[in-house]
Amino acid sequence: MTASRLPTGGRIDRSKPLSVTFDGRPIDAFAGDSLASALLANDEILVGRSFKYHRPRGVFSAGVEEPNALVHLRTGGRHEPNARATMVEAFDGLVANAQNAWPSVRLDVRAANQLLAPFIGAGFYYKTFIGPFRGTRFWMFCERFIRRAAGMGSPGTLEDPDRYETVNLFCDVLVVGGGPAGLSAALAAGRAGAQVVLVEQDAQLGGALLSAPIGDPSDAWLEAIRSELSAMSNVRVLTRATVFGAYDHDVYGVVERVWDHVAAAPEGQPRQRFAVVRTKRTVMATGAIERPLVFGGNDRPGVMLAGAVRSYVNRYAVLPGRHMVVATNNDSAYATARDLAAAGADVTLVDARQTVPDELASQSRAEGVDLRPGCAVLSAKGRGRVAGAVIAPVSEEGRATAPGKTIACDLIAVSGGWSPTLHLWSQRQQKPVFDAEKACFVPAGDTVPTMTCAGDARAAGGLATAIADGFAAGENAVIATGATNAAGHVPEAPEPWPGDDWTRGIAPLWTVTRADGKPAGKAFVDLQNDVTTSDIDLAHREGYQAVEHLKRYTTTGMATDQGKLSNVNALARMAQLRDAEIADVGTTTFRPPYTPITIGALAGNETGHHFRATRLTTIDEWHREHGAVMTEAGAWLRPWYYPEAGEDVRAAYVREAAHVRQHVGIVDVSTLGKIAVQGPDAAEFLNRIYINGWKTLPVGRLRYGVMLREDGFVFDDGATARLGEHDYFMSTTTANAAPVLAFAERLLQTAWTDLEVHVTSITDQWAAIAVAGPKARDLLATVVGDADLSREALPNNHFTHGRISGVEVRVHRMSYSGELAYEIYVPALFGRAVWEALIAAGGPFNLKPYGTEAMGALRVEKGHVAGPELEGRTTLNDLRLEGFASTKKPFVGSVLRNRPALTDADRPTLVGLEIDGEVGALPGSLLFAAAGPTEGRGEGWVSSTTYSPALGRNIAMGLLKNGPSRMGETVRVVDFVGDRTLKATVVSHHFFDPEGERQNA
Amino acid sequence: MLERRSPLADLIEASAAGMHDQHAPLILGEQALGALWQVAGWQDFETAVEPVLSVLGFAGLGDHRSVRVSAGTECYRIAPDRILLRCLDVGVLSAALNKAPPGRLAALDLSHARIVIRVSGEATVDLMPRLAPLDFAVPTFPIDSFAQTGIHGIAVLIRRLSEEAFDLLVPVTWAVSVWEWVCENARPFGYGVEASPPTSLGSLPHP
């Protein structure tokens, strides 16, 4: 043999030769070739190794169903494993390599696995191996090698340099499949004026018609339809695109391989595009996939699907062999035999049917085909590739009725019938039904009202029927969307060929066996996953007879195959074993994706810098311009610290925090959640959502509040100011801004519909700047106009309006740091200007900015709870906040907070920890008594930790069992991750200025 | 009075310098938002808001898809009991809001909470479906219609100005990310950036 390029013919462009390599060897290819056709044209028959046994494998198909020819594609960051060579368009510079083989596909040492075949049958990986030594140790050791020996391609580890994108498409009618039925459907819908999206996975429209010989009558038909469609502005054609998933509400996932057919996409262009298609109606013209025949050695390189062989001959001008056996049980393979004979091959056609349609028989014999009805291939001979076929007469069940005879051949083309491609239809939660007459599963009626299957996708019949069926489906889809234009007449079908209807007279043939009912050698049901008939038999013997169990136990139908080739033959085998009908065995569940898609396409351009949106305060640029090191706080980026002269974070935050205590500091707190609470019932709303009372809060005042979830755990805290009679300004923690708003909105719309209140996020409307330190008032007095900031006029928990550089601002007197402090709320777009005005005015007061790390240190010194303590599992009692809870009114969580589990005196309670030594504790460290075992979860944990410049030591906050009664006790702080134990003294969590004299100054 | 400073100011200035091709298939830029107020009410919202709308020249609340424009003021009905009023003349809005019946409406200044990104040019029909999961075909998203949706996970309001022009009202703190996302999606088509500094407007008096 023997595969070779034909001197003429094909739909390739011989004027455009391409440079392609496979395993480092140059491959002659032309524009229009697939990688598989180019490999065959260069007689590269051995292209892969099988999943488990590492048996030699060759190209088997010409489409998405390819189980064998999976290759590594491209190099560097564009490396792509498991690419099906049949779906890869050849391009200049294409580099492909065999995968799952070492050192090479031609000499793969792991082929030794075949010697272990008796031990590694179906389900061996589910079993527990014991011995030969003690327990399972030996086998656990072996497992790593077993795993390495099995598998498919290797993923790349380099960054993908290509660009991907996502787009949303909307249409009236989505047509999936650009074959005769799909083209007809799109034509009907397009003529009627509907917005149509036609999706075809091939680079060209035409489907099976592209496999017809050049000059076939179908060429003219195809050209006419293409031309009419391209003239319609309401029809969008997506080629090189695959509908991989069908979802509820008529949403479909499509991946368009925009620039996969070149070495690299042009600058800025996406390599692939993920399209989310929303449609009103769908026509599934997805065609059918030819089924293999199951016989001994049916996986040898040189065994191929008959339809694929026809494609290679007619579309790619590749003759895959010279001496061929075509084995079939239906009419469709006759076209292959005819075209092979016309291309100069010796063809023996074995048809398992006892009776062959007369016109096919006479026509085939007239064209030189050696037709042998009532026969089948019992086994394929040869080692690295097919060298012969053992042919025997068979019964209707596929059992040999006489000894076989070997025919020398270099290719066996098989057709066991066809399986409609109903994966997408089935993904809409539908189970297909088995049509015994057509020997295939078909969609069940109109069970998805917005979806119609047409043509081969519902086994409609031959070409003329498919065209009429598709056209009718398109017309009906349009009617349902309300379009009114006439679709006109069905395009006249090309003259039919007598063998174009594979459903006619098909004789099911599931496994060809010897007279004793056993295959003549390893007979593969699932080529990709190395599942043989004996594996199905084993699953049956071991009780895995239900179809879903069968799949899991044997792995049949997994990986890229997804049942395309293996499904029906495996089910049929199980049906035979169970003495049941195939319909009773049923099918597995089809799930997206129908064919493999890249993660890159799904991610689109939401990667790297665009992985997610980032939130920036309006003062952000100033921070960066002044050297701030930024840190993530949820979606926000905030200044972490402002290093001076090579400071690291520790040196910087210690300096910054100390500066605030000694002088005055400024920090951007715009990230605080801000919610406008408005309406006549706003005070009542606050009374219900917060644990403390709000009805008496006068205008001009603000109050600290805590809110619980319904289950009684602490949810969030913050200060709320009363701006007007019905107008409140609520602040939340940065992290809980959105959850609190959603919580409030839910309560108002479901539980408290009696309240006239609106809540609106105003986080974006207001920038917020905190000025803290002993000199804060003095500084602000120089810069805030129209306001009296004196202690008497503006005591703690009051606010006033003022102006800074002409900008109206609101000054809240409140402290997070424990120092004399103010929060200045500024209309956001003036945020930077006001910040800069404060910085300018702050010179004489030694004003310096500080970041979140110093802010955290200051709050830990004060013992204020924050995110690490408000973590969803703590109660008011745990956090020593129970004193805030009103006893005079109900509030959210007021009932369930009194559950016994939440009032248990043994619950860990907030304490302060003074750490011994120079090393600080890490958050998450566990607390254990000074003496006693270091077992279990300990008696508590460290929540927040810092070095305190004010105290000159490391301190921490934590929750400790019976905390308040353990003041002065020494505990151990154990960091299991870092394997370090510290000692700490339990103290009040109000480390610094517990009386609050500084903040009330 | 200090100038309002958009978070996009530097980005646009830098881009406009190098990407001033006004014949590009896409032109991106920022527009002045002016004053933007949310007015909300309750069961009697339609009645309560009528005096305000009447001053502004609007009859009734309108539907939830169409932007109504009257004498330079735009009205967006963003919920059954909420509208957005946008106007370049702060005084016009202030005067109208003063007509609100006491206690029956909640007015909220959002003039600093949003910025406006304008997308225009022949390629907008291709760009917009990459930004938001909406059907931007003219019959389904006609001129002067609007939608509240998400771009890159951020809540935005999109208004169609013409067949080939849209305004995106974007939260200020997300503006940089959304701008960069729009630019990223515009890249395959090629785009120019138009420098158009927003009009300086002070904030309205406190309610």
Interval A668-696: pLDDT, tens? 999 999 999 999 999 999 999 999 999 99
Local confidence band at B206 (pLDDT 50, 70, 90 cut-offs): very low
Of the pLDDT bands very low, low, confident and very high (cuts 50, 70, 90), residue A973 is very high
Element (H, E) at B195: none
When pLDDT is cut at 50, 70 and 90, the band that residue A581 belongs to is very high
Q: At what angle do helices A547-554 and A567-578 cross, to 10 degrees?
A: 120
With CB atoms and an 8 Å threshold, state whether B173 touches A617: yes
**What SS3 state is found at A183?**
helix
> Fold identical between A164-288+421-481 and A292-416?
yes
Residues 906 through 935 of chain A touching chain B, CB cutoff 8 Å: none
Mean pLDDT estimate for chain A: 95
Predicted structure pTM score? 0.94
Task: Give the other-Cβ count within 10 Å of A476's Cβ.
Answer: 18
**pLDDT score of B204:** 40
| Nearest chain A alpha carbon to B190 | A268
**How many other C-beta atoms can be found within 10 angstroms of the C-beta atom of residue A354?**
13
Determine the pLDDT at residue B196.
66
CATH architecture classification, B35-109: 2-Layer Sandwich (3.30)
Does B176 contact A616 at a Cβ distance shorter than 8 Å?
yes
Q: Which of A807, A825, A618, A635 is nearest to A720 (CA)?
A: A825
Instruction: Output the DSSP codes for A553-576.
Output: HH-TT-TTTTTTTTHHHHHHHHHH
A725 in reach of chain B (CB within 8 A): yes
In A752-791, the residues whose Cβ lies within 8 Å of chain B are 756, 758, 760, 762-766
Is A605 close to B134, i.e. CB distance below 8 A? no
C-beta atoms of A269 and B130 within 8 A: no
Give the three-class secondary structure for A769: strand
> Helix axis angle, A180-191 relative to A463-481, nearest 10°?
30
pLDDT at B201: 41
A276 touches chain B (CB under 8 A): yes
pLDDT digits (tens, 9 = 90+) for A105-142: 999 988 888 888 888 888 888 887 777 777 788 888 88
A594-618 residue pLDDT tens: 899 999 999 999 999 999 999 999 9
**Residues on chain A touching B185 (C-beta within 8 angstroms):** 165, 605
CA atoms within 13 Å, Cβ hemisphere of A643? 9
With CB atoms and an 8 Å threshold, state whether B133 touches A670.
Answer: no
pLDDT, average across residues A480-508 = 88
The answer to whether A726 faces chain B, any CB pair under 8 Å, is: yes
Handedness of CA B191, B197, B201, B207 (dihedral sign): positive
The H or E element spanning position A473 is helix A463-481
Give pLDDT, residue A486: 86
Closest C-alpha to A759, from A734, A729, A783: A729
Size of interface A-B (CB pairs under 8 A): 143
Element (H, E) at A336: helix A333-342
CATH architecture, domain defined by B9-33+113-194:
2-Layer Sandwich (3.30)
Q: In the prediction, which pLDDT does A776 show?
A: 98
User: What is the per-residue pLDDT across A751-766, written as a single tens digit (0 to 9) for each?
Assistant: 999 999 999 999 999 9
> If you search the block for the tokens 């932007």, which residue do you land on?
B67
- Indicate the helix (H) or strand (E) that contains A583: helix A582-585
Superfamily holding A898-987: Aminomethyltransferase beta-barrel domains (2.40.30.110)
Over the stretch A195-215, which tens digit does the pLDDT of each residue have?
999 999 999 999 999 999 999
Residues of chain A numbered 607-626 and touching chain B (CB < 8 Å):
609-610, 612-618, 620-621
List CB contacts of B60: < 8 A, sequence separation 6 or more. Answer: B46, B50, B53
Q: Are B171 and A764 within 8 A, CB to CB?
A: yes
Show me where the domains of chain B are located.
Answer: 9-33+113-194, 35-109
Structure tokens at A514: 């010897």
pLDDT at position B202, please?
41
The yes-or-no verdict on residue B48 having pLDDT over 60 is: yes
pLDDT score at B14: 80
The whole-angstrom separation of Cα B108 and Cα A760 is: 9
Q: What are phi and psi of A729, to 5 degrees?
A: -120, 105
**Contact between A948 and A992 (Cβ < 8 Å):** yes
Q: Does A111 touch chain B (CB under 8 A)?
A: no
In this model, does residue B205 exceed pLDDT 70? no
The verdict on a CB contact (< 8 Å) between A830 and B112 is yes
Fold match flag (B9-33+113-194 vs B35-109): no
Share of chain A above pLDDT 70, in %: 100
CATH superfamily of A292-416: FAD/NAD(P)-binding domain (3.50.50.60)
| Cis, peptide link before residue A593, omega less than 30° from 0 | yes
- pLDDT at residue B19, rounded to an integer: 63
* A850-881 tens-digit pLDDT: 999 999 999 999 999 999 999 999 999 999 99
Whether domain A1-153 has CATH 3.10.20.440: yes
* pLDDT for the residue A322: 95
pLDDT at A890 over 80: yes
**For the segment A804-850, what is each residue's pLDDT rounded down to a tens digit?**
999 999 999 999 999 999 999 999 999 999 999 999 999 999 999 99
Using 50, 70 and 90 to split pLDDT, how confident is the model at B1?
Answer: low
Among the CATH numbers 2.40.40.20, 3.40.50.970, 3.30.1360.120, 3.50.50.60, which is that of A621-671+765-858?
3.30.1360.120
Provide φ and ψ at A840, rounded to 5°.
-65, -40
Hey, where are the domains in chain A?
A: 1-153, 164-288+421-481, 292-416, 510-578, 621-671+765-858, 673-761, 898-987
Pair type for strands A758-761 and A673-678:
antiparallel
> Which among B7, B82, B133 has CB closest to A616?
B7
Residue B167 clears pLDDT 50, i.e. is over it: yes
Residue B15's identity, in one-letter code, is: S
d(CA A818, CA A855): 11
- For the domain made up of A164-288+421-481, give the CATH fold: FAD/NAD(P)-binding domain (3.50.50)
B105: pLDDT confidence band, cut at 50, 70 and 90?
very high
Cβ partners under 8 Å of residue A382, min gap 6: A297, A300, A302, A388
If you search the block for the tokens 């005879």, which residue do you land on? A405
ipTM score assigned to the predicted complex:
0.96
CATH topology of domain A673-761: Alpha-Beta Plaits (3.30.70)
- CB < 8 Å to A810, chain B: 206
Predicted pLDDT at A141: 83
Residue B17 confidence (pLDDT) above 70: no
